[in-house]
């Protein structure tokens, strides 16, 4: 039995078809057994059969939804044989015939086996069913459309009834039953009264050769359909029959439901004051509708009419149809409870249940959590080490040439002088002109400073100013060197592991942390500058990646994501969540390659997505490492 179950589809429309087959069969058998073995009122019988019909569709749909959400009561079927290494201290189980891959326990150094999803192509029978099922449904839908067109045509061709006695009987029946009187029409397209409940209610009467004066009982019956809302009920039954055309038991339920509706309306007519024997004789005067084109009209076949007549002739006492209507509500309650039970009879677990295994029967999560870093116990990731082709953002905070510095044209000097001429202050930056002079203002003129050191320039400026003002105090400093290259912006680490600093040469930084890179660059610049200061940051992470591999709509996809040192499983899933449908049953695992130095072997980390999805636990939201492969399987 277990081997046979392995061939049952676990997802897709095939699994829905299997659920619909066995669940609708169960529901139909229970409903037919109940109405045949237990003596129920027609109103109750109609309610039970209607609930069973709708349940034939609701049950497999709710089962599919529960299975997709992982709200099943049972865990996946697992073979009783044990696999794995006894030294692990755990039992590893897998479904029979499931392909295996190796999960390496880095702490023990021994492999253990975990199951992988089994993928099978649909058999020929499924392909045939995929073609015949829609064709049968289309045929039945076309039949229903023909019925609607026939009723519409009959209404168009009908003429209003002008007989005042018949119209008075209709209004009397409508007042007795508490419903609005429908439009009364006479049509040659019908052989017995037919009530059309779609749109504006209309009652079609056959064109009789001889007038009648006993329409009241007939109107009681027809208006009972209107009071019971049988039009919607019949359309719901027809729709279910169209959706499940291969379910033969459903057609027996449909036949019994229509018969129960007619008998219930007979009870309403008798309860309203009609005599059972006289009403049975009235039915003999009409020819029942035998054409299926009027399936949506409130008219019945010959066999149904014969059974109604025999029941009316055997009736004793006055029926109580409204009591049966309330008893029918119990059938809806039972049907709803049965739908919930069938929905929960799936593989999975209830929302309040916990488990130590991922939903796809993997190695216990507690073992995997001990092998990798989890955000539930946050650990330091260590400093990031740059590699080619990372892009560094390097900015020089202080660039001062090494002394003695000779002033050159286009340099900028910071000059401050005390005891200057009123309104002719000397304070601020002053550029060195192309001819090597610096202009101090209209009252002071220019001074040639190119080729001088800073101290020599200060003395020269002071001597020049002593000819104009008394006892000047002069301060000179280099504000900006025009001939000194600035260091700023993005710098790419080349394939050889170096960054190019222009006229200052190249510096090897591969494999270093940011602190080490900053110290290395500053040490290199000491050859050219006086106590240089730089700031270093990573502008773009290009050297380290992890990979996401996922399956969507039968196609495999792979995405390379830059690694910054702070990503978890949830960060990886966020990269692809817009491209696939995630459910609590989504299978996720991490394949971690062996380290380059050979100290750590490759192993697999199972992720319990159901826990992460519902917020039950964060224990498998592992930190990712460079080179990790995150595998995501939709179903």
Q: What is the separation of C-alpha 387 from the centre of its chain, rounded to a whole number of angstroms?
A: 38
3-class secondary structure, 566:
coil
Other beta carbons less than 10 A from residue 86's beta carbon? 9
Report the pLDDT value the prediction gives residue 23, as an integer from 0 to 100.
Answer: 84
> Which residue did the predictor score with more confidence, 585 or 187?
187
Taking alpha carbons only, the member of 325, 212, 315 closest to residue 266 is 315
What six digits make up the tokens of 411? 């340099």
- Asked whether 446 and 425 are in contact (CB, 8 A), the reply is no
Other beta carbons less than 10 A from residue 202's beta carbon? 19
Mean pLDDT of the chain: 75
Task: Please state the φ and ψ torsions of residue 424, each to the nearest 5 degrees.
Answer: -135, 60
Q: Out of 11-25, 331-345, 382-396, 475-489, pick the least confident.
A: 331-345
Report the pLDDT value the prediction gives residue 261, as an integer from 0 to 100.
Answer: 86
Per-residue model confidence as pLDDT tens digits over 348-390: 544 434 444 444 444 455 555 555 555 555 555 567 788 888 8
- What value does the mean pLDDT take over residues 411-418? 88
Residue 325: pLDDT above 50?
yes
Per-residue model confidence as pLDDT tens digits over 10-23: 667 777 888 888 88
Question: Which residues 6+ apart lie within 8 Å of 496 measured at CB?
Answer: 388, 508
What six digits make up the tokens of 358? 């991922």
- Asked whether 250 and 240 are in contact (CB, 8 A), the reply is yes
- Asked whether 618 and 372 are in contact (CB, 8 A), the reply is no
> Which residue did the predictor score with more confidence, 602 or 457?
457
Residue 307: pLDDT above 60?
yes
- What value does the mean pLDDT take over residues 587-608? 79
Report the pLDDT value the prediction gives residue 519, as an integer from 0 to 100.
Answer: 93
DSSP alpha helix (H) spans, 300-453: 302-314, 321-344, 365-371
Dihedral of CA atoms 196, 197, 200, 202 in degrees, nearest 10, equals: 30
Question: Which residues 6+ apart lie within 8 Å of 228 measured at CB?
Answer: 43, 261, 264, 265, 268, 325
- What value does the mean pLDDT take over residues 600-617? 78
Report the pLDDT value the prediction gives residue 517, as an integer from 0 to 100.
Answer: 93
Q: Which residue has the tokens 């073995």?
A: 37
Q: Is the peptide bond before 389 cis (omega within 30 degrees of 0)?
A: yes
Per-residue model confidence as pLDDT tens digits over 544-562: 889 998 877 777 888 888 8
Residue 205: pLDDT above 70?
yes
CA distance 549 to 148: 52
Task: Please state the φ and ψ torsions of residue 226, each to the nearest 5 degrees.
Answer: -70, -40
CA distance 161 to 187: 9
In the 8-state DSSP scheme, what is residue 631? E
Radius of gyration over alpha carbons of the chain, in Å? 45
3-class secondary structure, 160:
strand
Report the pLDDT value the prediction gives residue 508, as an integer from 0 to 100.
Answer: 95
Other beta carbons less than 10 A from residue 412's beta carbon? 17
What six digits make up the tokens of 415? 């000059």
Residue 499: pLDDT above 90?
yes
CA distance 630 to 607: 10
Query: From residue 182, how far is each of 201, 219, 237, 256, 315 by CA, in Å?
Result: 5, 10, 24, 27, 29
In the 8-state DSSP scheme, what is residue 287? P
HSE of 258, CA atoms in CB hemisphere, 13 A = 22
Other beta carbons less than 10 A from residue 268's beta carbon? 24
> Which residue did the predictor score with more confidence, 152 or 322?
152
Taking alpha carbons only, the member of 587, 629, 619 closest to residue 371 is 619
- Select, from the ranges 87-101, 395-409, 427-441, the one with the highest average predicted confidence (pLDDT): 427-441
The pLDDT confidence band at residue 409, using thresholds 50, 70 and 90, is confident
- Select, from the ranges 247-251, 332-336, 375-379, 623-627, the one with the highest average predicted confidence (pLDDT): 247-251
Terminal Cα-to-Cα distance of the chain (whole angstroms): 24
> Which residue did the predictor score with more confidence, 394 or 315?
394
Taking alpha carbons only, the member of 131, 120, 146 closest to residue 7 is 120
- What value does the mean pLDDT take over residues 489-502? 90
What six digits make up the tokens of 149? 């067109």
The DSSP line for 45-61 is HHHHHHHHHHHHHHHHH
Q: What is the separation of C-alpha 385 from the centre of its chain, rounded to a whole number of angstroms?
A: 38
- Asked whether 366 and 107 are in contact (CB, 8 A), the reply is no
Q: Out of 186-195, 200-209, 343-352, 518-527, pick the least confident.
A: 343-352
- Select, from the ranges 61-65, 335-339, 628-632, the one with the highest average predicted confidence (pLDDT): 628-632
Beta-sheet pairing, 110-115 with 159-160: unpaired
- What value does the mean pLDDT take over residues 46-72? 80
Taking alpha carbons only, the member of 394, 589, 603 closest to residue 502 is 394
CA distance 268 to 176: 11
Residue 445: pLDDT above 50?
yes
> Three-state secondary structure along 367-402?
HHHHHCCCHHHCCCCCCCCCCCCCEEEEEEEECCEC
CA distance 254 to 137: 16
Report the pLDDT value the prediction gives residue 547, as an integer from 0 to 100.
Answer: 92
Residue 501: pLDDT above 60?
yes
Residue 242: pLDDT above 80?
yes
- The residues with which 557 forms a beta bridge, in sequence order, are 550
Q: Which residue has the tokens 């029979």?
A: 96
Overall pTM > 0.85: no
HSE of 216, CA atoms in CB hemisphere, 13 A = 18
Handedness of CA 458, 461, 466, 468 (dihedral sign): negative
- Asked whether 33 and 548 are in contact (CB, 8 A), the reply is no
Q: What b/e sequence results for 11-50 when a residue is b if at least 16 CB atoms lie within 10 Å of its CB, and e otherwise?
A: eeebbbbebbeebbebbbebbbebbeeeebbbbbbbbbbb
- Select, from the ranges 62-66, 117-121, 447-451, 476-480, the one with the highest average predicted confidence (pLDDT): 447-451
Beta-sheet pairing, 202-206 with 391-398: unpaired
* Most distant pair of Cα atoms in the chain: their distance: 143
Residue 332: pLDDT above 60?
yes
Per-residue model confidence as pLDDT tens digits over 80-127: 333 333 333 333 333 334 334 344 433 333 334 444 444 444 567 777
3-class secondary structure, 4:
helix
The pLDDT confidence band at residue 516, using thresholds 50, 70 and 90, is very high
| Percent of the chain predicted with pLDDT > 70 | 75
Q: Is the peptide bond before 216 cis (omega within 30 degrees of 0)?
A: no
């Amino acid at each position: 039995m277990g081997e046979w179950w392995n061939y049952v589809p676990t997802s897709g429309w095939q699994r829905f078809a299997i659920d619909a087959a066995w669940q609708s069969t169960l529901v139909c058998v229970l409903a037919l057994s109940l109405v045949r073995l237990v003596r129920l009122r027609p109103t109750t019988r109609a309610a039970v059969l209607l609930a069973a019909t709708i349940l034939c569709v609701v049950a497999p749909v709710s089962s599919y939804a529960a299975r997709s959400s992982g709200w099943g009561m049972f865990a996946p079927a697992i073979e009783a044989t044990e696999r794995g290494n006894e030294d692990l201290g755990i039992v590893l189980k897998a479904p029979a015939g499931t392909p295996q891959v190796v999960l390496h326990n880095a702490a023990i150094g021994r492999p253990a086996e975990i199951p992988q999803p089994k993928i099978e192509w649909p058999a020929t029978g499924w392909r045939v069913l995929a073609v015949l099922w829609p064709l049968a449904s289309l045929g039945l839908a076309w039949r229903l459309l023909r019925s609607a067109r026939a009723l519409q045509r009959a209404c168009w061709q009908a003429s209003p009834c002008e007989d005042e006695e018949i119209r008075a009987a209709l209004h009397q029946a409508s007042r007795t039953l508490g419903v609005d009187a429908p439009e009364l029409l006479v049509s040659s397209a019908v052989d017995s009264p037919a009530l059309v409940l779609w749109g504006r209610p209309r009652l079609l009467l056959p064109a009789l050769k001889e007038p009648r004066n006993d329409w009241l009982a007939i109107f009681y019956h027809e208006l009972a359909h209107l009071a019971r809302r049988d039009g919607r009920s019949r359309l719901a039954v027809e729709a279910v029959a169209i959706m499940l055309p291969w379910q033969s038991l459903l057609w027996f339920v449909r036949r019994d439901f229509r018969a129960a509706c007619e008998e219930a309306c007979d009870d309403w007519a008798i309860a309203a004051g009609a005599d059972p024997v006289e009403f049975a004789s009235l039915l003999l005067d009409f020819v029942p509708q035998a054409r299926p084109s009027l399936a949506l009209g409130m008219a019945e076949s010959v066999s149904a009419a014969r059974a109604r007549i025999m029941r009316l002739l055997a009736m004793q006492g006055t029926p109580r149809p409204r009591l049966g209507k309330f008893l029918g509500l119990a059938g809806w309650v039972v049907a709803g409870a049965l739908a919930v039970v069938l929905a929960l009879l799936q593989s999975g677990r209830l929302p309040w249940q916990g488990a130590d295994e991922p939903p796809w029967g993997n190695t216990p999560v507690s073992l995997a959590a001990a092998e990798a870093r989890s955000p539930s116990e946050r650990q330091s990731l260590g400093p990031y080490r740059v590699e080619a082709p990372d892009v560094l953002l390097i900015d020089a905070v202080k660039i001062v040439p090494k002394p003695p510095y000779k002033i050159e044209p286009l340099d900028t000097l910071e000059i401050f002088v005390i005891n200057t001429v009123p309104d002719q202050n000397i304070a601020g930056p002053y550029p060195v002109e192309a001819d090597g002079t610096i202009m101090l203002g209209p009252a002071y003129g220019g001074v040639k400073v190119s080729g001088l050191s800073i101290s020599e320039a200060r003395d020269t400026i002071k001597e020049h100013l002593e000819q104009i003002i008394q006892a000047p105090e002069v301060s000179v400093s280099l504000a900006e060197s025009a001939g000194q290259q600035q260091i700023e912006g993005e710098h790419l680490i080349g394939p050889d592991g170096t960054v190019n600093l222009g006229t200052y040469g190249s510096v090897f930084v591969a494999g270093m942390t940011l602190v080490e890179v900053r110290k290395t660059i500053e040490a290199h610049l000491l050859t050219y500058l006086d106590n240089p200061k730089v700031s270093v940051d990573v502008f773009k992470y290009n050297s380290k990646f992890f990979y996401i591999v996922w399956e969507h709509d039968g196609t495999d996809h792979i995405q390379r994501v830059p690694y910054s040192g702070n990503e978890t499983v949830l960060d990886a899933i966020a990269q692809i969540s817009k491209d696939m449908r995630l459910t609590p049953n989504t299978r996720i695992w991490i394949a971690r390659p062996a380290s380059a130095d050979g100290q750590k072997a490759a192993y697999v980390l199972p992720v319990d997505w159901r826990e992460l999805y519902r917020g039950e636990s964060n224990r498998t939201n592992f930190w990712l490492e460079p080179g990790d492969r995150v595998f995501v399987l939709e179903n």
